[in-house]
Structure 1
Amino acid sequence: MSAPQNQHQALILFAHGARDPRWAEPLARLQQLIAASVSSSVHIHQAFLELMSPTLPELVAQLAAQHCQAITVVPIFLGQGGHVRRDLPQLMTQLEAQYPQIQFNLATAIGENERVLMAIAEVCVANLFKSL
């Protein structure tokens, strides 16, 4: 369910995190691409499971303090591994209980989307022909 336009909305790109900060550079580019294609009333953020900050609970606490009313979390994972199947739903259950005033929407892992898979396939095929 989408939130009305007058509500403070946030889109969180949720990723694993890594020790090397350069790992998050593609996520920052994705954040910029999304920000350029949605209303300025939608705030785009990054959050991480571990090794980087902010974590999802830290970011949601900040957004709640800013009176955010609707948050969509998009897992930037290729598949439904343990983090997406187990860890993230547990985090979301805790956040929903802690912030009942916020409407949460949890998307499926980005790699489960057919359009994403098609884009990856196109890049793979394009690279195949580069090597011939």
Structure 2
Amino acid sequence: MSSTGKKAIVLFGHGARDPQWAEPMKRLQSILTAQLPDVQIELAFLELMAPSLPDTVDCMALGGTEYIQVVPIFFGKGGHLKNDFPVIMAEMKQKHPGLSIEATAAVGQWDAVWQAIATEIVQQVQ
């Protein structure tokens, strides 16, 4: 993200019927909010929970956000990330041409995530 302008990160998850499913994402949101106090950190969901990613981006655009980094909180790169997510991103970019909207790779594609999980597993079984 650029060093100037109002910035935001959207943690984008699948969603679930059980509201407790979102607790780890809320925890991550809280951690990031503490570590990045000048960056707006929001949650958004693909289905079954609100707000949706387009609704979140619409609100941010109305609030003057200039740069949005979407972070897909998905471990596997299945149909939602391969098919649905690119369409949603394209639609949001078309709707908000003055807004910089980018996405990271899904967290499940980050080697550091798997290394951290493996390290924790090793510590738990020793």
Partner of 1:12: 10
Match of 1:120 among 105, 117, 120: 117
* 2:102 partner SS: strand
How far apart in 2 are the matches of 1:83 and 1:42? 27
* 2:40 partner SS: strand
* Structure 1 position 84, deviation (Å): 1.0
Tell me the TM-score normalized by structure 2.
0.95
One-letter code of the match for 2:3? P
Match of 1:35 among 33, 36, 50: 33
* Structure 1 position 99, deviation (Å): 0.2
How far apart in 2 are the matches of 1:76 and 1:127? 24
How far apart in 2 are the matches of 1:4 and 1:33? 21
Pairing 1:97–2:94 present: yes
How far apart in 2 are the matches of 1:41 and 1:122? 31
Larger radius of gyration: 1
Partner of 2:60: 63
* Structure 1 position 36, deviation (Å): 1.2
Instruction: Name structure 1 gaps, 5 residues minimum.
Output: none
One-letter code of the match for 1:51? L
- Of all paired residues, the percent bearing the same amino acid is 40
Pairing 1:82–2:79 present: yes
Tell me the TM-score normalized by structure 1.
0.91
Instruction: Name structure 2 gaps, 5 residues minimum.
Output: none
Aligned length: 126
How far apart in 2 are the matches of 1:62 and 1:100? 15
Deviations 1:65-111 (A, max 9, x none): 11111100000001211111111111000000000010011100001
